[in-house]
């Protein structure tokens, strides 16, 4: 038996905001729509920025790409703030119980000294890459004009901060919360030959001006090669070294990457499909950066999974780009 | 790998979880990565001395914020399902929400953009993280406000095109230019303006009037948002205080720069708040407290204590504070009178206060209301009852800095406008006050760029040659529906229908509206 409570209904005079009605018609809108479309100021800015007098505030020319309407880039996950934190709260809950379990059972400190060192040398320094990603995405959130685009990058910025913090906590588990393992791990990042191409690459991304170039290099090319390498293939390799438990602690990163493919793919697809000139511009950035990303990850792959794996992943990235009409060198591998 | 070192305390642990992830670059120059940190003249000797204003890691942020969101949206849903908009005191109240959604929510969004930017610009990683968390909080505020107002938009007029109107409508250039000013400034000025002056010194004068106003007037959606945002605001205030202390302690040369910014942003903030003052005294059917009382409590007392505390850094209270303190007895009346006569061009309604409201105003403003404002209001009320509701068809002069019409008066004589003017590079500029005039003189090259709505109308840049066309076509204000007098408006008619009262005829009978 089902019980239906009768409620009084009152005739509304309109179903949604005018800006939403202009896009989607005067019908009840989703929370995502009312939160994400046409919130940002677009015109009649009062003063030129002292930090960039050539352009206005909220200036769409902060990237070389041109879109008739940047709001045509949308989020397939439909994340507005509330949906975003709701989703991440669940993910962090799972991560929390894994960290607690590893801590309680001493699963990391029980590993052989040599294996622990490998984690500090080969996994934990990726927290510095996460910090670079955090900075890059915060810049994009401040530079891109449409809320649909900007908010995805703000979410990515805080995600990367969170993921860097999980990597930090792996070291804190190892050193008994003293910070010594973190200090050691950071010396690899700063001084070890193995990391220098990647550190140089990350520092290089921090001086890119064009925000779409940054999102392409950071969120598509670098993450696109690095996440499968580190959290999938190196993860298996760590398992072979007897460190399979660490896998519990990077589950967040794997889930996150799978999900991030949805919005990055959708964004690239829409932007490249807009015009030939967009496609050519994106292609030239790929030509410039993709080989650098590959070179930056090479020493790490060589020290762990072997170069074959990186080549394989490079081919996969190339297939992913091909789907939206772009090319990269991956297929020759 | 068990280490013999001591376990990290909370503070150090948080630093390992945030700023230790950053490093000093060697492949790129520091100044190329952080190019905006020095042009304002602020000297930072050591970012390590930055004290974290709060210690939230991302996992706890997600967790706490998700809990708050869950509760908030459950109430929004219940509010819509039960048609909670019918429980407000009176439909006149909704005009405060129209002002809020078109004037405040877009600046929440601008704050989001501003903090995302400074969350990248600073070379101190601790400060970046704090700014980024504020950025995403402000995104939250902008978005939850859309959702809180969504149901009101369906049942009342004037809320339907807020962000669009924020860019265009004459009086909305007051909040818009305020935030454009802050965002076009450098990162340290942005933080002094927004985190310190706005979020710390003046926040209660914005937040309390709207949120308590909602509580006193039966608006569950808005008050729930207010409660939910309270803990965000507590973080924002801590950041504001930490920022100012940090910059002042870093170098003595920073003190005069900060003092200049405090003077500027106090005055700009105070001017912006005149909109809130009139909302509090005139738009809330159930009053919370008078604007003068709010100003006394939240500025004169709390602000007084704060600036006393900052004395040890060589900071004095904001310039023209005395003018602002004296204005508390005038500004809401002057502002409401202005909106009353220009509401043919606003997205909200105005009206003359009812008899008992005038009595309340006399009581709250014993020195000024009866002497300067009551007569005018009674005169307009009489005119209105005789079918001559007053609209001023001549557009006002705007202040070049705050962009409010130059309606404010001299500190010692409320019958004389405190109009000021100067010539700069052969052009004449006008101001509402010495406060605004000083701000202009410090950065004329900035303020001569202002997009002044009245000037733009006269220059033909607002889609029409007459105000009626501008209002309808360029502002998207629906004539006779969103604008003009409240009595007899579609909102008013609808409210009477809802309450089962007979719709009023054109002549207004106030007892029926009560
Ligand atoms: Fe806010
Ligand atoms: Fe805030
Ligand atoms: Zn002014």
- Please indicate whether, in this complex, the C-beta atoms of A57 and B157 are within 8 angstroms of each other: no
Q: Is A75 on the interface with B (CB under 8 A)?
A: no
pLDDT at B511 (0 to 100)? 40
- In this structure, the number of other CB atoms found within 10 A of the CB of residue B460 comes to 10
Instruction: Answer yes or no: is pLDDT of B3 > 90.
Output: no
Q: CA-to-CA distance for A51 and B36, rounded, in angstroms?
A: 6
pLDDT(A73) > 70: yes
In this complex, which of A43, A89, A178 lies closest to B66 when CB atoms are compared? Answer: A89
pLDDT tens for each residue of B98-149: 999 999 999 999 999 999 999 999 999 999 999 999 999 999 999 999 999 9
CA distance B124 to chain A (A): 12
Given CB atoms, is A299 within the 8 Å cutoff of chain B?
no
pLDDT, tens digit, 9 for 90 and up, residues A111-159: 999 999 999 999 999 999 999 999 999 999 999 999 999 999 999 999 9
How far does the centroid of ligand 3 lie from the alpha carbon of residue B272, in Å? 9
- Per-residue pLDDT, A329: 84
Q: Is the pLDDT of residue B506 over 50?
A: no
Looking at the partner chain, which of A15, A57, A206 has a beta carbon nearest the beta carbon of B33? A206
How far is the C-alpha of A99 from the C-alpha of A118, rounded, in Å?
A: 19
pLDDT of residue A194: 98
Give me ligand 1 centre to Cα A169, in Å.
31
Say whether A203 and B157 touch across the interface (CB within 8 A). no
Separation between Cα atoms, residue A73 and residue A320, nearest integer Å: 18
- Asked whether the beta carbons of residue B180 and residue A203 sit closer than 8 angstroms, the reply is no
Residue B189 has pLDDT above 80, yes or no: yes
CB contact under 8 A, B132 and A18: no
According to DSSP, residue A110 is labeled T
A5 touches B: beta carbon within 8 Å: no
pLDDT single digits (tens) B439-466? 999 999 999 999 999 999 999 999 999 9
Closest CB to A39 among B109, B160, B186? B109
Compute the distance from residue B137 Cα to the ligand 1 centre, in Å. 7
3-state secondary structure of B350: strand
Give residues with Cβ within 8 angstroms of B125, minimum separation 6.
Answer: A131, B18, B19, B21, B22, B47
Of A13, A86, A128, the CB nearest to B69: A86
pLDDT above 60 (res B512): no
Give pairs for B20-25: CB < 8 Å, separation 24+: B20/A168, B20/A179, B20/A182, B20/A186, B21/A127, B21/A128, B21/A130, B21/A131, B21/A164, B21/A168, B21/B125, B22/A128, B22/A131, B22/B125, B23/A128, B23/A186, B23/A189, B23/A190, B23/A199, B25/A203, B25/A206
Nearest bound ligand to the CA of residue B429: 3
Structure tokens at B280: 């509090």
pLDDT at position B505 over 90: no
What is the SS3 assignment for B285? coil
What is the structure's pLDDT at A332? 52
Chain B residue numbers touching A141 (CB-CB < 8 A)? 113, 116, 135
Q: Is B383's pLDDT higher than 70?
A: yes
Interface touch A35/B8, C-beta < 8 Å: no
Q: B405 forms bridges with which residues in the sheet?
A: B398
SS3 sequence of A273-295: HHCHHHHHHHHHHHHHHHHHHHH
Cα B459 to Cα B480: distance, rounded to the nearest angstrom: 26
Residues in chain A: 333
Location of structure tokens 């202002």? B450
Name residues whose C-beta falls within 8 Å of residue B75's C-beta, 6 or more positions apart in sequence. Answer: B220, B221, B224
How close does chain A come to B73, measured CA to CA in Å?
A: 9
Instruction: State residue B508's pLDDT score.
Output: 42
Asked if the Cβ–Cβ distance from A44 to B57 is below 8 Å, we say no
What mean pLDDT do residues B182-197 have?
98
Residue B330 contacts residue B372 (beta carbons within 8 Å): yes
- Calculate the CA B6 to chain-centre distance: 48
Mean pLDDT value across residues B31-47: 97
% of chain B at pLDDT higher than 90: 95
| Residues of chain B contacting residue A161, judged by C-beta atoms under 8 Å apart | 18, 58, 129, 132
> Residue A333: its pLDDT value, please?
41
- Residue in chain B lying closest to A111 (CA): B1
> What local confidence, expressed as pLDDT, does residue B377 receive?
98
In the prediction, which pLDDT does B278 show? 97
**Tokens standing for residue B437:** 């005039």
Closest residue in chain A to residue B174, using alpha carbons only: A46
Give the Cβ contact number of residue A234 at 10 Å: 22
The pLDDT of residue A252 is above 80: yes
What is the per-residue pLDDT for B513?
38
Q: What pLDDT sits at residue A330? A: 72
pLDDT band at A7 (very low <50, low <70, confident <90, very high): low
Write down the pTM of the prediction. Answer: 0.97
pLDDT (average), residues B394-409: 97
Average pLDDT, chain B: 95
Residues 152-181 of A with CB under 8 A from B: 154-155, 157-159, 161-162, 164-166, 168-169, 172, 174-181
Cα gap B58→B118, rounded to integer Å: 19
Nearest to B196 by CA among B237, B234, B246: B237
* DSSP strand pairing (B427-431 vs B420-424): antiparallel
Mean pLDDT of B390-399: 97
On whether the CB atoms of residues A277 and A212 are closer than 8 A, the answer is no
CA distances from B35 to A16, A32, A217, A239, B183 (A): 43, 35, 21, 43, 16
Cα end-to-end distance, chain B, whole Å: 76
CB < 8 Å to A48, chain B: 184, 449
Task: Give the least confident one: A38-47, B61-70, B226-235, B327-336.
Answer: B226-235
Write out the two tokens for A46.
């009062």
Q: Do A39 and B106 touch (CB under 8 A)?
A: yes
Distance between CA atoms of residues A159 and A137, nearest Å: 10
Between CA A146 and CA A261 the distance in angstroms is 20
Query: pLDDT tens, A92-112?
Result: 999 999 999 999 999 999 999
A168 contacts on B by Cβ (under 8 Å): 16-17, 20-21
pLDDT tens for residues B203-234? 899 988 999 999 999 999 999 999 999 999 99
The ligand minimizing its distance to the Cα of B140 is 1
CA distances from residue B236 to B68, B134, B180, B195, B201 in whole angstroms, order as listed = 17, 7, 20, 7, 11
What local confidence, expressed as pLDDT, does residue A4 receive? 73
Q: Which of A14, A47, A203 sits opposite B25 (nearest CB)?
A: A203
Output the CA–CA distances (angstroms, integers) from residue B259 to B75, B195, B197, B247, B323, in the order listed: 43, 15, 11, 11, 18
The CA distance from A271 to A282, in Å, is 9
What pLDDT, on a 0 to 100 scale, did the predictor assign at position B509?
A: 42
Higher-pLDDT residue of B513, B12: B12
Of residues B384, B347, B439, the one with CA closest to residue B162? B347
Does residue A290 register a pLDDT over 70? yes
8 Å CB contact of A45 and B185: no
Of the two residues A222 and B514, the one the predictor is more confident about is A222
Query: Of the ligands numbered here, which is closest to the C-alpha atom of B430?
Result: 3
The phi and psi torsions of B409 (rounded to 5 degrees) equal -120, 165
Residues of chain A contacting B110 with CB distance shorter than 8 Å: 41
Identity of the residue in A89, A134, A178 whose CB atom sits nearest the CB atom of B6: A178
Distances (CA, A) of B488 to B351, B471, B477: 11, 20, 17
Check CB contact under 8 Å for B116 and A154: yes
3-state secondary structure of B166: helix
> How far, in whole angstroms, is CA B202 from its chain's centroid?
9
Which of A5, A12, A13, A28 to probe by mutation at the B interface, max B CB count within 10 Å?
A: A13
Note the pLDDT of residue B498: 87
pLDDT number for residue A331: 56
Inter-chain CB proximity B39 and A51 less than 8 Å: yes
Give the percent of chain B with pLDDT over 70. 97
Which residues are bridge partners to B398 per DSSP? B405
* Chain A residues with beta carbon closer than 8 angstroms to that of B124: none
User: ipTM > 0.85?
Assistant: yes
- In chain B, whose CA is at the least distance from the CA of A208? B33
- What secondary structure, in 3-state letters, does B407-452 show? CCECCCCCCCECCEEEEECCEEEEECCHHHHHHHHHCHHHHCCCCC
| Cβ–Cβ under 8 Å, residues A146 and A71 | yes
Listed range (A1-10, B51-60, B319-328) with the worst mean pLDDT: A1-10
B485 by DSSP, 3-state: which?
Answer: strand
pLDDT given at position A1: 59
Closest Cα in chain B, distance from residue A171 (Å) = 10
Cα dist. B50→B47, B82, B118, B313 in Å?
A: 5, 48, 15, 16
> Residue B153 — φ and ψ, nearest 5°?
-60, -30
Q: Which of A41, A48, A89 lies nearest to residue B106, judging by beta carbons?
A: A41
- Among B429, B394, B270, B265, residue whose Cα is nearest residue B335: B270
Q: Using 50, 70 and 90 to split pLDDT, how confident is the model at B254? A: very high
C-beta neighbour count of B34 within 10 angstroms: 18
């Amino acid at each position: 038996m089902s019980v239906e409570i009768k409620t009084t209904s009152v005739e509304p005079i309109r179903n949604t905001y005018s800006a939403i009605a202009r896009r989607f018609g005067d019908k009840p809108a989703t929370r995502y729509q009312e939160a994400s479309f046409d919130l940002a100021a677009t015109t009649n800015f009062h003063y030129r920025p002292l930090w960039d007098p050539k352009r206005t505030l909220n200036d769409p020319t902060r990237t070389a790409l041109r879109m008739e309407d940047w709001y045509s880039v949308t989020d397939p996950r439909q994340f507005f703030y509330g949906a975003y934190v709701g989703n991440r709260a669940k993910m962090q809950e799972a991560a929390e119980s894994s960290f607690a379990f590893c801590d309680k059972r001493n699963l990391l400190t029980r590993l052989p000294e040599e294996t622990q060192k490998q984690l500090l040398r080969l996994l934990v320094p990726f927290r510095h890459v996460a910090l670079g990603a955090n900075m890059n995405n915060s810049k994009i959130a401040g530079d891109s004009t449409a809320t649909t685009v900007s908010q995805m990058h703000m979410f990515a910025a805080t995600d990367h901060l969170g993921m860097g913090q999980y990597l930090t906590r792996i070291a804190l588990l190892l050193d008994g919360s003293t910070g010594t393992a973190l200090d050691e791990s950071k010396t690899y990042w700063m001084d070890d030959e193995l990391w220098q191409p990647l550190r140089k690459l990350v520092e290089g991304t921090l001086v890119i001006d064009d925000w779409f170039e940054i999102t392409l290099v950071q969120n598509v090319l670098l993450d696109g090669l690095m996440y499968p390498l580190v959290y999938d293939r190196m993860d298996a390799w760590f398992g072979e070294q007897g460190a399979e438990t660490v896998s519990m602690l990077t589950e967040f990163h794997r889930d996150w990457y799978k999900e991030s493919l949805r919005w990055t793919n959708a964004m690239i697809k829409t932007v490249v499909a807009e015009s030939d000139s967009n496609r050519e511009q994106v292609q030239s950035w790929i030509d410039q950066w993709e080989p650098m990303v590959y070179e930056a990850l090479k020493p790490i792959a060589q020290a762990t999974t072997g170069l074959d794996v990186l080549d394989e992943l490079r081919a996969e990235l190339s297939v992913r780009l091909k789907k939206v009409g772009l090319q990269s060198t991956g297929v020759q591998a | 790998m068990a280490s013999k070192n001591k376990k990290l305390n909370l503070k150090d642990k948080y630093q390992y979880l945030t700023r230790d992830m950053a490093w000093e670059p060697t492949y790129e120059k520091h100044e190329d990565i952080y190019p905006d940190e020095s042009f304002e003249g602020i000297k930072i000797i050591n970012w390590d001395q930055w004290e974290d204003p709060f210690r939230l890691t991302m996992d706890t942020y997600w967790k706490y914020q998700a809990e708050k969101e869950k509760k908030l949206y459950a109430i929004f849903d219940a509010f819509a399902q039960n048609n909670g908009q019918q429980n407000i005191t009176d439909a006149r109240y909704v005009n405060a929400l129209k002002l809020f959604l078109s004037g405040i929510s877009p600046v929440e969004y601008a704050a989001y953009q501003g903090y995302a930017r400074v969350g990248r610009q600073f070379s101190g990683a601790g400060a970046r993280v704090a700014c980024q968390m504020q950025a995403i909080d402000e995104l939250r505020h902008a978005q939850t406000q859309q959702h809180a107002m969504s149901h009101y938009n369906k049942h009342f007029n004037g809320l339907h095109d807020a962000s669009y109107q924020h860019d265009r409508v004459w009086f909305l250039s007051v909040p818009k230019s305020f935030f454009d000013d802050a965002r076009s400034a450098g990162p340290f000025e942005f933080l002094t303006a927004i985190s310190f002056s706005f979020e710390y010194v003046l926040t209660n004068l914005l937040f309390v009037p709207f949120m308590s106003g909602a509580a006193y007037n039966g608006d569950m959606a808005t008050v729930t948002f207010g409660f939910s945002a309270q803990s965000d605001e507590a973080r924002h205030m801590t950041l504001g205080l930490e920022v100012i202390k940090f910059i002042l302690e870093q170098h003595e040369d920073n003190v005069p720069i900060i003092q200049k910014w405090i003077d500027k942003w106090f005055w700009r903030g105070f001017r912006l708040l005149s909109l809130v003052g009139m909302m509090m005294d005139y738009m809330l059917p159930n009053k919370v407290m008078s604007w003068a009382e709010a100003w006394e409590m939240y500025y004169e007392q709390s602000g007084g204590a704060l600036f006393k505390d900052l004395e040890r850094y060589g900071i004095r209270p904001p310039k023209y504070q005395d003018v602002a303190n004296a204005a508390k007895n005038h500004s809401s009346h002057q502002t409401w009178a202005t909106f009353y006569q220009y509401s043919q061009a606003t997205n909200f309604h105005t009206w003359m206060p009812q008899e008992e409201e005038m009595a309340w105003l006399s009581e709250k403003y014993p020195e000024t209301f009866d002497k300067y404002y009551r007569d005018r209001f009674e005169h307009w009320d009489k005119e209105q009852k005789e079918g001559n509701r007053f609209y001023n068809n001549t557009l006002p002069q705007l202040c070049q800095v705050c962009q409010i019409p130059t309606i404010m008066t001299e500190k010692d004589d409320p019958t004389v406008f405190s109009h000021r003017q100067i010539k700069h590079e052969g052009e004449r500029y006008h101001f509402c006050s010495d406060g605004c005039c000083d701000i202009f003189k410090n950065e004329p090259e900035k303020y001569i760029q202002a997009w002044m709505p009245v000037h733009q109308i006269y220059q033909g840049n607002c889609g029409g040659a007459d105000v009626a066309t501008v209002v309808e076509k360029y502002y998207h204000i629906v004539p006779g529906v969103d604008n003009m007098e409240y009595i007899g408006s579609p909102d008013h008619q609808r409210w009477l229908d809802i309450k089962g009262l007979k719709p009023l005829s054109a002549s207004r009978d106030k007892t029926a509206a009560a």
